[in-house]
Amino acid sequence: MEITAQEFKHCDLITIKGRVDSATAPQMAQALETANESGKYKLAVDMGALEYMSSAGFRALLAAQRNCKKYNRGEVVLVNVPARIREALELAGFTELFKTFDDTLTAVGHF
């Protein structure tokens, strides 16, 4: 798994590549926490190059969404979610908890 962050005027774009499972989810959770710790709560997570995500990744997203939405200071939105991952997120009832976008420009523009 590889994770990079890019700053925009009104939000941060976090790009996750590769595979997120119980082994790599802590690294992803850490990256999201780091953004929060530097006062960034408006996060667009680009999952376009993500091959795989287990419930360990879902839990990290949920924790980040909780923290970002606190005091209405922001939110996590998901971008370019691959079909298989979207289906698993739907099964887990997670799609209602996140706005999703089909392209990065619209997601970044949402904030």
In the set 16, 35, 44, 65, which binds another protein (CB under 8 A)? 65
- CA-CA distance, 27 to 86, in Å (whole number)? 21
Does 97 contact another protein by CB under 8 A? yes
Least Å from the CB of residue 46 to another protein:
20
Q: How many residues bind another protein (CB under 8 A)?
A: 22
> Least separation, in Å, of the C-beta of 103 and another protein?
23
> What are the Cα distances from residue 21, in Å, to 32, 47, 57, 89, 98?
16, 14, 6, 14, 20
> To which H or E segment does residue 103 belong?
none
Nearest approach, Cβ of residue 24 and another protein (Å):
8
